[in-house]
């Protein structure tokens, strides 16, 4: 069996993470919350962990 299934799964998870992060960001901005780079990185790393994306590190 090839690794295409694993690659596709990672792509889907990262796309879902990006969508979740954008929704979180929009909600905070609408609520008037100032989103800093540190807050954004911490939030996306937490989301990645909850989504089962291992070894994910946010960077600027």
Tens digits of per-residue pLDDT, 4-60? 555 556 666 777 888 999 999 999 999 999 999 999 999 999 999 988 888 888 887
What does the pLDDT read at residue 56?
85
Largest interatomic CA distance in the chain: 49
Cβ atoms of residues 56 and 46 within 8 Å: no
Find the DSSP H helices in the chain: 4-30, 37-50
What does the pLDDT read at residue 3?
54
Instruction: Select the more confidently predicted residue: 59 or 2.
Output: 59
What does the pLDDT read at residue 51?
87
pTM over 0.85? The answer is no
What does the pLDDT read at residue 8?
59
């Amino acid at each position: 069996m090839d690794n295409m299934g694993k690659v596709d799964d990672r792509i889907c998870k990262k796309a879902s993470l990006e969508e979740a992060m954008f929704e979180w960001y929009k909600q905070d901005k609408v609520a008037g919350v100032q989103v800093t780079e540190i807050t954004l990185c911490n939030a996306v790393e937490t989301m990645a962990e909850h989504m089962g994306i291992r070894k994910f590190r946010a960077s600027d």
